[in-house]
Structure 1
Amino acid sequence: MKRDEEFFKKIKKAEKTAQYAMFFTSLATILLLLSIYDPTLSIFNSQEKLYEEVLVDEDRIENGIHVRTGLKDGKGLMTVVNNCTNCHSAKLVTQNRMNAERWNETIKWMQEKQNLWQLGENQEIIVNYLVENYPVNQIGRRMTLSNIDWYELKD
């Protein structure tokens, strides 16, 4: 007898859980259909507006820096952004400080080996931007060590 009561309690609990699941599934379906029928009723509108605002502001310049990429503002910036950052990070561009000849060689290599499209007139604009804003560093990765008291390691 007690065993039957426990079984029926479990059945009732399962039925209640199934009812809740059906209710929330129906509610989600109704909300989805309403948002498809009339997008202004969507519960995601406020998030969509925030996303749209980000898209509008993605190419803004603050303190002389292009916010999205971190590149310096200058003549040819958007040509660099539109042609270089489609395939790789702007950091990859800025860490490779080269002269015009080396940039042109690198672009030729990317075209031959990495399927970079022909840049046409944009190549000169890109190279000029990079040479002007990210010139070759005359200083290496660190200063040369001087006045060091060297010692020999003993085995």
Structure 2
Amino acid sequence: MQEKENNDGIVFKPIFKVVLLIFTSFIIFGALAIVFFGPRQSEVELGEEDSELIENGIHIRTGLVEADGLQTVITNCTTCHSSKLIIQNRMGEEQWDATIRWMQKTQGLWPLGENQKVIVDYLTKNYPVLEKGRRPPLTDIDWYPLEGN
């Protein structure tokens, strides 16, 4: 392999230059990735004094609706899973109760006692079944071939 000498008399092998270029690229692109794709302000861990902030009726740390039973839901539900799992589900009272029983039977959820009614009331009031959701599956379709160009 051919060695090259710079003005200071230091010898650089071509492979070293390639390794140095790759290393420098990783550092630069890594820094850019952190700047552009790093955690948003809302995802940054809030301090203790900010962890219970409410803005526009939403609990900032969890994204849950501020209402009676919020603290009970946070204490009993977000201990094991993300509040996003709660927010994306919309069920009636029977379905929430069945889900709680399933979590108790299979996931190790402790007995909730009086808190179960508080939690289910909060969930059915703030995350009710939506009247309009996904369209039902298509049935009785008369399929036909599309003609090419």
Q: TM-score, normalised by structure 2?
A: 0.61
Tell me the matched-pair count: 100
Letter in 2 for 1:75: D
For the residues of structure 2 that align with 1:144 and 1:112, how far apart are their CA atoms?
32
Tell me which residue corresponds to 2:101: 108
CA–CA distance in 1 between the matches of 2:104 and 2:136? 36
Structure 2 CA distance for aligned equivalents of residues 105 and 62 of structure 1:
32
Bigger Rg, structure 1 or 2: 1
SS class of match (2:47): helix
Within the candidate set 48, 57, 63, 1:55 is matched to: 48
Say yes or no: does 1:94 pair with 2:87.
yes
Once the two structures are TM-superposed, the CA of residue 63 in structure 1 deviates from its matched residue by 1.0
**Amino acid of the structure 1 residue aligned with 2:104:** Q
Alignment pair present for 1:130 and 2:127: no
Give the Å deviation of 1:152: 2.5
Per-residue deviation at 1:57? 1.7
Q: CA deviation at 1:151?
A: 5.8
Within-5 A mapping of 1:2-151: 54-141=47-134
Unaligned runs of at least 5 residues, structure 2? 1-44
More helix by share: 1
Q: CA deviation at 1:153?
A: 2.8
Which residue identity does 2:53 align to in structure 1?
Answer: R
